[in-house]
Structure 1
């Protein structure tokens, strides 16, 4: 059975290193904002083993004044556990958690190969391409998530 809960930054960093930054120094797996007060880290557990992680960072912005804005980053699931809906369920768990007090806007840099995944989960594509050094091409995507009543 897969369960979801909030986790510590060190657990997220380990998952990022195992999935997203293979072969790179572990130091590259710490992201600016990981320790900010508004940042929340979530994990997916299969039989009490961490198999996936995602981070939601509360961002102050002058661009969007209506809703709280979160940046989704580091969504990762162990390769051998992918294609089992764990990533989708983890994403929805994190979205529901951060939207408990109202509507939020979430944006992310999606790797090109992940764009279809985010589209299936309600994210809209911004045509802008961003190339992140040592990682590659990404697209900006966003979604509004409403509080569940």
Structure 2
């Protein structure tokens, strides 16, 4: 896993803080209300922000949400992972993903992570051992997605 060498910090943030990156990356030109995801405020959800020199450049949310497609008891869903365009390809997304995996492993006995990946991001997640499941599907107004998963 390629991680940036230094100069960044990952910490827990509020759901509202994620909107600073979710909106321009995942919902450009859309109203701020579309940046809220069901489960954002659940007590088992945690949100990570990646800061480079005090600038929020990446976010990821991890929600204790079960998919009917999998039988694992302790499932988490990754939602709203995004890195500002200027910083893509520099290992910051990998750092967010790894930190989320570490935290999930600490709080559950059978850690399992799944998510709906944008079709163009599948290659990124495959590099970290995630597998696709089922067929592509369209999220209206967003883009095609496919379910991905990994038993941590």
Equivalent residue, structure 1, for 2:75: 69
Equivalent residue, structure 2, for 1:114: 121
Tell me the TM-score normalized by structure 1. 0.91
Deviations 1:35-68 (A, max 9, x none): 0111110011101111000000002466655431
Unmatched runs of 5 consecutive residues or more in structure 2:
1-6
Equivalent residue, structure 2, for 1:136: 143
SS of corresponding position for 2:78: strand
Distance in 2 (CA, whole Å) between partners of 1:107 and 1:62 is 11
Equivalent residue, structure 1, for 2:32: 26
Q: How well do the aligned residues superpose, as a CA RMSD in angstroms?
A: 1.4
Equivalent residue, structure 2, for 1:43: 49
Shift of 1:103: 2.9
Tell me the TM-score normalized by structure 2. 0.90
SS of corresponding position for 1:45: strand
Unmatched runs of 5 consecutive residues or more in structure 1:
none
SS of corresponding position for 1:59: coil
Deviations 1:15-45 (A, max 9, x none): 1002111011111000011001111100111
SS of corresponding position for 2:16: helix
Matched, 1:84 2:83: no
